[in-house]
């Protein structure tokens, strides 16, 4: 049991909650590696936004609290660890994959922690923060044509892997079974326990599809009545970075539509507007894919409320909003 300061009884309830959270954090066991921080992310109630859907609870998995700052930490950790166990990585061989940003940061963090050299192919127009962060871990970046989007990065990564098989181990996150298994074994079970088995709907977007496929597959096993719903951008030329419009894209081999009960099509503007609203109403500064996720979850929650039913709708906050701003340059020398 967490012991609060002796003066806690005189504090307002909100302050008592902060003191309790601070005390609990101080009691966490010492970590042997940053990778022990991956997973077990908080589930946060979106109390202000859920007022629009009376009788329905709206919750979000705070994946930005992973040490690399996004949901992709889970897949990257599992992919690399399984590759090491199989002997696919090691002896100086470089991990190679394509990425639009978050997976690249996750690979870079895990690679630095485990001593695995990383080479990433990303579209030339990927956000500056993502380029800077990956390079800060010592990652080698190769850029594909911006006009070809994430599919262009996939094609170039395949080409490099074919031409230099001795130099690279191509993980191919879009086809790697370890991607969805990370969420099958982790994310889904955490949500199930954190909602005390009460979850009725799970809603999230499609990128590599690992999160939605792995989580949905396990949730359906835990309770077949849970509705698992995917969100996709409504058109090919969208602005929800990291998400795929499946009809116009190379379909990820791990994508399994059979585990989904429904798909919601999301306009860019609705996702962007919701990301701003989450900051102003909930105090959570998140990226636009997270905005799209919450907007889709709110649609679902409103439908449930309109039927006069109760529900527990859970979605994913993929990353922080600061990934989408150009940062100040990190200088080694300063003039005071």
**In a domain? residue 9:** no
**In a domain? residue 333:** no
**In a domain? residue 3:** no
| Alpha carbons 81 and 272: distance in angstroms, whole number | 35
**In a domain? residue 58:** yes
- Average pLDDT, rounded, for the chain: 89
Q: Quote the domain boundaries for residue 123.
A: 72-170
Q: Is the pLDDT of residue 228 over 90?
A: yes
3-state secondary structure at position 201 = strand
**In a domain? residue 264:** yes
Lowest average pLDDT, out of 127-131, 186-190, 313-317, goes to: 127-131
Per-residue model confidence (pLDDT) at position 1 = 44
pLDDT band for position 129 (cuts 50, 70, 90): confident
Same domain, 140 and 161: yes
Q: Is the pLDDT of residue 100 over 60?
A: yes
Token pair in block for residue 207: 């990128």
Do residues 203 and 56 lie in contact, with contact meaning Cβ atoms separated by under 8 Å?
no
Q: Tell me the average pLDDT across 254-283.
A: 96
**In a domain? residue 13:** no
Same domain, 95 and 136: yes
Nearest to 41 by CA among 171, 211, 280: 211
What pTM was estimated for this model as a whole? 0.87
Kindly provide the residue ranges of all beta strands, DSSP E only, lying in the chain, ordered along the sequence. 43-45, 56-62, 94-98, 118-123, 140-144, 168-170, 201-205, 227-233, 262-266, 311-317
User: What 8-state DSSP symbol labels residue 2?
Assistant: P
CA angle 193, 195, 196 (to 5 degrees): 60
3-state secondary structure at position 263 = strand
Per-residue model confidence (pLDDT) at position 2 = 43
pLDDT tens for 269-320 read 999 999 999 999 999 999 999 999 999 999 999 999 999 999 999 999 999 9
Domain end residue (candidates: 154, 170, 186): 170
Per-residue model confidence (pLDDT) at position 331 = 54
**In a domain? residue 330:** no
Same domain, 227 and 297: yes
Domain end residue (candidates: 170, 198, 225): 170
Same domain, 207 and 65: yes
pLDDT tens for 151-163 read 899 999 999 999 9
What's the 3-state SS for 131-191? HHHHHHCCCEEEEECHHHHHHHHHHHHHHHHHHCCCCEEECCCCCCHHHHHHHHHHHHHHH
pLDDT tens for 10-54 read 556 666 666 666 655 555 678 889 999 999 999 999 999 999 999
CATH number of the domain that residue 158 is part of: 3.40.50.1100
**In a domain? residue 52:** yes
Per-residue model confidence (pLDDT) at position 23 = 59
Token pair in block for residue 88: 């696919």
Per-residue model confidence (pLDDT) at position 7 = 45
- For residue 32, count other CB atoms closer than 10 A to its CB: 7
If phi > 0 it is left, if psi is from -120 to 50 it is alpha, else beta; for residue 198 that is: alpha
Per-residue model confidence (pLDDT) at position 219 = 98
Same domain, 241 and 181: yes
Which contacts of 236-239 are long-range, i.e. CB under 8 A and separated by 24 or more positions? 238/268, 239/268, 239/271, 239/272, 239/288
Half-sphere exposure of 62 (CA within 13 A, CB side): 15
Q: Tell me the average pLDDT across 105-113.
A: 96
Q: Is the pLDDT of residue 8 over 70?
A: no
User: What are the phi and psi torsion angles at 73 (to 5°)?
Assistant: -60, -35
Q: Is the pLDDT of residue 327 over 60?
A: no
Same domain, 290 and 319: yes
Same domain, 119 and 198: no
Domain end residue (candidates: 170, 197, 226): 170
Alpha carbon dihedral 281, 274, 257, 222, in 10-degree steps, equals 0
Same domain, 82 and 54: no
| Alpha carbons 277 and 115: distance in angstroms, whole number | 40
3-state secondary structure at position 56 = strand
Same domain, 306 and 295: yes
Same domain, 163 and 262: no
Same domain, 108 and 219: no
High-pLDDT (> 90) share of the chain, % = 75
What are 169's strand-pairing partners? 95
Same domain, 187 and 43: yes
* Domain count within the chain: 2
Per-residue model confidence (pLDDT) at position 13 = 66
């Amino acid at each position: 049991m967490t012991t609060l300061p002796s003066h806690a009884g005189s504090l307002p309830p909100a302050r008592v909650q902060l003191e309790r959270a601070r005390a609990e954090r101080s009691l966490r066991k010492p970590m042997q590696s940053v990778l022990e921080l991956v997973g077990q992310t908080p589930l946060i109630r979106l109390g202000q936004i859920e007022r629009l859907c009376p009788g329905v609870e709206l919750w979000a998995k705070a994946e930005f609290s992973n040490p690399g700052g996004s949901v992709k930490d889970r897949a990257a950790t599992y992919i690399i660890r399984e590759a090491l166990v199989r002997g696919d990585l090691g002896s100086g061989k470089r991990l190679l994959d394509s990425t639009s940003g978050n997976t690249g940061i996750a690979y870079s963090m895990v690679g630095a922690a485990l001593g695995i050299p990383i080479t990433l192919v990303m579209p030339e127009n990927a956000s500056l923060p993502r380029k800077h962060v990956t390079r800060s871990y010592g990652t080698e970046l190769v850029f594909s044509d911006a006009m070809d989007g994430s599919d262009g990065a996939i094609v170039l990564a395949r080409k490099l892997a074919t031409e230099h098989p001795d130099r690279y181990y191509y993980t191919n996150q879009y086809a790697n079974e370890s991607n969805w298994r990370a969420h099958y074994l982790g994310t889904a079970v955490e949500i199930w326990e954190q909602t005390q088995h009460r979850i009725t709907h799970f809603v999230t977007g499609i990128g590599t599809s690992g999160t939605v496929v792995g989580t949905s597959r396990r949730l359906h096993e835990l309770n077949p009545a849970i509705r698992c719903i995917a969100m996709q951008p409504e058109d090919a030329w969208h602005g929800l970075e990291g998400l795929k419009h499946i009809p116009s894209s190379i379909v990820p081999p791990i994508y399994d539509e059979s585990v989904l009960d429904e798909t919601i099509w999301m306009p860019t503007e609705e996702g962007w507007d919701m990301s701003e609203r989450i900051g102003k109403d909930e105090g959570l500064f998140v990226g636009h894919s997270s905005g799209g996720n919450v907007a889709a979850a709110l649609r679902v929650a409103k439908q449930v409320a309109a039927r006069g039913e109760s529900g527990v709708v859970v979605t994913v906050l993929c990353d922080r909003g600061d990934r989408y701003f150009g940062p100040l340059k990190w200088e080694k020398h300063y003039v005071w």
